[in-house]
Amino acid sequence: MEGAGGHRPPLIREGPVGRYILKRLLLAIPVLFGVSVVVFAAIRLIPGDPAQIMAGQAATREVVEEIRTALGLDRPIPVQYLYFLRNALRGDLGRSLFNGAPVVEELAQRFPRTVRLALASMLVAAAIGIPAGIVAATHRLSWVDTFVMILALAGVSIPVFWLGLNLILVFSVRLGWLPAFGHETWRHLVLPAVTLGTASAAVVARMTRSAMLEVLSQEYVRTARAKGVPEGRVIRRHALRNALIPVVTILGLQLGTLLSGAVLTETVFAWPGVGRLLVDAVLARDYPIVQGTILLIATTFVVLNMLVDVLYAFLDPRIRYA
Amino acid sequence: MSQVRTVGVALVLLTVLILPAISAPVAPQPGGTLVIGRGADSVTLSPYASAAPDAEVIAHIAETLYELTPDGRIVPRLAESLPRMGPDGRSMTIRLRRGIRFHDGTPFDASAVKWNFDFILNPENRAPFRAILLGEVTGVDVLDPYTVRLNLRRPFVPLLAHLTHDFLAIHSPTAVQRAGGMRPPTGEPYGRQPVGTGPFRFREWVRGDRIVLERNPEYWGPSKPLLDQIVWRVIPDDGARVLALEGGQIQVAVRVPPRETTRLALNRALRIERTSSVRTIYIAFNNQKPPFTDVRVRQAFNYAVNKRAIVQTVLGGAARVSDAPISPGIVGYSPIQPGGWPYDVNRARQLLAEAGQGGGVNVTILHPTGRYVQDAAVAAAVQAQLRAAGINARLQTMEWAAYLAYTNQPPDRTPVEMFMLGWGTVTGDADYGLYSLFHSSQWAPNGFNRFFYRNPQVDQLLDQARSETNAARRNDLYRQAMTLIWRDAPWIFLHSESQVTGLRREVEGLVVHPTERILAHTAWLRR
């Protein structure tokens, strides 16, 4: 990871930001189209019949056939895909095969909860990861550095459900400070955000450390020190601002991961977001929900990547769109 | 004076300290909210329901004509008395209670019952349980405002048990229309805002999160509901659900994993209840595929498996060794071999040798993972035990949806040799537990006889029992059929599951029903 991401090449150095964004958005169309084809085909190719699951083990074949016809699952898959595409372009992602709820409605209800959890986790990741990385870099090869890096290794290695259950055990069951599940208030957010943010904090700490080390060895830092600039000021003004560029990239990409990878955290804390929705839908072969959720996640990734690139240029004076 | 005071103080102290300790059961106290943590959300609260998480919520809102008590009796609920069968057995006349109103104020009467049953009977509405529960009913007549008659295709005695099923609960026809009707496959939009006659009224449903019911102050029944609210919360992770119970965020946790029970038993704020379930777990043979076409081989497998040890160790005692193809608490059950199929490895080896399989048997056993309590561990235990009898079993698991499809292929195409499944006789009547599984008309993929068992005598007995109105004679027919099935050994008869429920001490009067539903009709919270 040492130094990685520090030289992310900007895609466009010239032209107005607006044109750049437009181009990125146009590029997103074939990406999302490809995703929709793959998801549509893949979920139908794995064995398991939604009509059978819906009807229950005990249903007669007649009932299963009736349900399959009612759901339009008896039509050839390419035909089903064309129907899906036509409706999707109109903003209609269909209805859940199981509870009949419109997919768009379901996502609109759950996505904000996942966003809330992801943003809070990112806050945790940044608040812990950046200071830890700075401390490790400024105390390079000392016991502080070793300690922080061991913690970081533990952070990425600990399974989410183990950490989550232990946090519940300590802060909810033993101390009674925070609720074990639910999503109504900010107090409900603390434990899941720490659980989900820990691994990202570890990644951010390692990235901050290596970026800081790289910057601290630059000549302008040596010059600043030679001029007698106080060490604190060297670190804040001269080193940190430049070291943050790759860190911002990593944070942006982590946000994408947090938005789509919160499945285990959402399960442990009974947090009804899109991660759990997706897993439940895959297990139940609820095709429209699977398609809608994955499209949403893919869109989120595309948009976040674009924002990171724009922000990147904003932070790095060497990169300009205009 | 001071002596009087001392005595007085002592008396007061005595009262304060001792009286609560010796005071007998506290009278039920009204009020409070009961929060139940469970693993899965409901799908619909309408007659389109198809699983236990739907049924247990519906049971509080809408009521059935008859009720199956936890000890397996059928008693009238919205009906006034047990039904009268027509002389030819092809009709069932039911008198209804008077003066009952739905939560929306409209009256409960014969026309409401007819409307509900007509809706389910109409094939266009595609209610998933139509064929299973009302398959033999041809129509419903209103004889007078409080009497209905169900007309039957042929005499069909299990119908009475079917009428206890929550999927046949009576909903308010007016409310269904006002909500915009019920559309297949899940009864939307009414299915999200049900209206019945029950002790609790629907209040709120946040999908994937919680369902909230509130007390119906005008409930007609003799025992009035005490709780202000019942809340079902979805907590999918077993461990997290148990922790929420320990932390007091929920008062009831369903499906406590066996590994947790010893630890939780030490917690004085909690108690653990084990309730038998009507769900039977078995490992079936493909009865049409050699060597399982030979009854001696099937019996040998049964001798080779130590079910008692599995129940004691793998399941922590939270199960009951099967002594019949169905479980106790079901109408028509009787023990066929008390204590279960005996464990006798030598007898197993001997039977295999007689069947020409003395050189060892190789077989693949399919099992689900996470569907039944400790299912994968049970399969592993069976595998280890079979080895002692010279049987080399390979285990294979798959995700549930794929598993259901894989084990549901016709006999000429299926590659399956042995597989583990469970069957919950949720109607509480032996017909549902035996006919659907062992009758030869039910071979997969048409029915649930996925192991291709066929015995003409069993078929005949099961057919006869469907129309036998005399309870004693009917029980006898089932006993005969089960004896034949037991001897034929189309399964390894394993166990029936127990439901392990964790409760906080303050919860009283909660019923964990053998049909895998938590019923809080009479529950209350001690304060």
Task: Enter the ipTM.
Answer: 0.72
H/E segment holding residue B331: none
Backbone φ and ψ of B68, nearest 5°: -95, 115
Question: Which of A48, A70, A161 has its CB closest to that of B126?
Answer: A70
Please tell me the distance from the alpha carbon of residue B119 to that of residue B92, in angstroms, as a whole number.
Answer: 19
Cβ distance of B130 and A63 shorter than 8 Å: yes
A53 to chain B nearest CA, in Å?
A: 7
Residue A1: per-residue pLDDT: 36
Query: Which residues of chain A lie closer than 8 angstroms to B126, CB-CB?
Result: 63, 66-67, 70
Query: Which residues does residue B396 pair with via DSSP β-bridges, in sequence order?
Result: B366
Q: What percent of chain B has pLDDT over 70?
A: 95
Task: Read off the pLDDT of each residue in A193-217 and give the average, rounded to a whole number.
Answer: 89
Residue A3: per-residue pLDDT: 39
Q: Which of A28-37, B31-40, B115-124, B518-527 has the lowest mean pLDDT?
A: A28-37
The first and second tokens of residue A300, run together, are 């989120």
Residue B452 exposure: Cα atoms within 13 Å on the Cβ side: 22
- Is the per-residue pLDDT at B4 higher than 70? no
- Is the per-residue pLDDT at A7 higher than 60? no
Q: What is the pTM of this model?
A: 0.81
Q: Which of A69-83, B16-30, B250-264, B443-457 has the lowest mean pLDDT?
A: B16-30
Please tell me the distance from the alpha carbon of residue B68 to that of residue B46, in angstroms, as a whole number.
Answer: 20
Number of other residues whose CB lies within 10 A of the CB of residue B49:
27
- Is the per-residue pLDDT at B476 higher than 60? yes
pLDDT category at B358 given cuts 50, 70, 90 is confident
Please tell me the distance from the alpha carbon of residue B527 to that of residue B434, in angstroms, as a whole number.
Answer: 46
Residue owning tokens 């490809």: A34
Please tell me the distance from the alpha carbon of residue B186 to that of residue B46, in angstroms, as a whole number.
Answer: 8
Residue B243 in contact with partner chain A when CB distance is under 8 A: yes
DSSP string covering A94-134: -B-TTT--BHHHHHHHHHHHHHHHHHHHHHHHHHHHHHHHH
Per mean pLDDT, which of A253-262, A268-277, B82-91, B472-481 is the most reliable?
B472-481
Task: Read off the pLDDT of each residue in A10-29 and give the average, rounded to a whole number.
Answer: 70
Contacts of B5 by beta carbon, 8 Å cutoff, 6+ apart: none
Residue B404: per-residue pLDDT: 81
Residue A282: per-residue pLDDT: 85
The 10s digit of each residue's pLDDT in A120-138 is: 999 999 999 999 998 898 8
Residue owning tokens 């181009």: A23
CA dihedral sign, ordered B398, B399, B400, B403 = negative
Please tell me the distance from the alpha carbon of residue B171 to that of residue B64, in angstroms, as a whole number.
Answer: 9
Q: What size, in residues, is chain B?
A: 527
A263 to chain B nearest CA, in Å?
A: 12
Indicate the DSSP class of residue B352. Answer: H
- Is the per-residue pLDDT at A93 higher than 60? yes
Residues within 8 A of A (CB atoms), B 416-475 only: 421, 423, 436, 445-448
pLDDT category at A57 given cuts 50, 70, 90 is low
The 10s digit of each residue's pLDDT in B402-442 is: 888 788 888 998 999 999 999 988 888 999 999 989 999 98
Contacts of B107 by beta carbon, 8 Å cutoff, 6+ apart: B100, B101
Task: Read off the pLDDT of each residue in A51-66 and give the average, rounded to a whole number.
Answer: 70
Task: Read off the pLDDT of each residue in B85-98 and give the average, rounded to a whole number.
Answer: 93
Q: What is the 3-state secondary structure (H, E, C) of B409-453?
A: CCCCCCCCCEEEEEEECCCCEHHHHHHHHHCHHHECCCCCECCCC
Contact criterion met (CB below 8 Å) for A107 and A100: no
Residue B461: per-residue pLDDT: 97
Backbone φ and ψ of B459, nearest 5°: -55, -50
Residue A59: per-residue pLDDT: 65
Q: What percent of chain B has pLDDT over 90?
A: 70
End-to-end CA distance of chain A: 32
- Is the per-residue pLDDT at B22 higher than 50? no
Residue B458: per-residue pLDDT: 97
pLDDT category at A6 given cuts 50, 70, 90 is very low
- Taking all residues of chain B, what is their mean pLDDT, rounded to a whole number? 91
- Is the per-residue pLDDT at B345 higher than 80? yes
- Report the alpha-carbon angle B132-B136-B139, nearest 5: 115
- Is the per-residue pLDDT at B16 higher than 60? no
- Is the per-residue pLDDT at A4 higher than 60? no
Which has the closest alpha carbon to A60: A69, A50, A51? A51
Question: Which of B43, B128, B235 has its CB closest to that of A59?
Answer: B128
Three-class DSSP category at B100:
coil
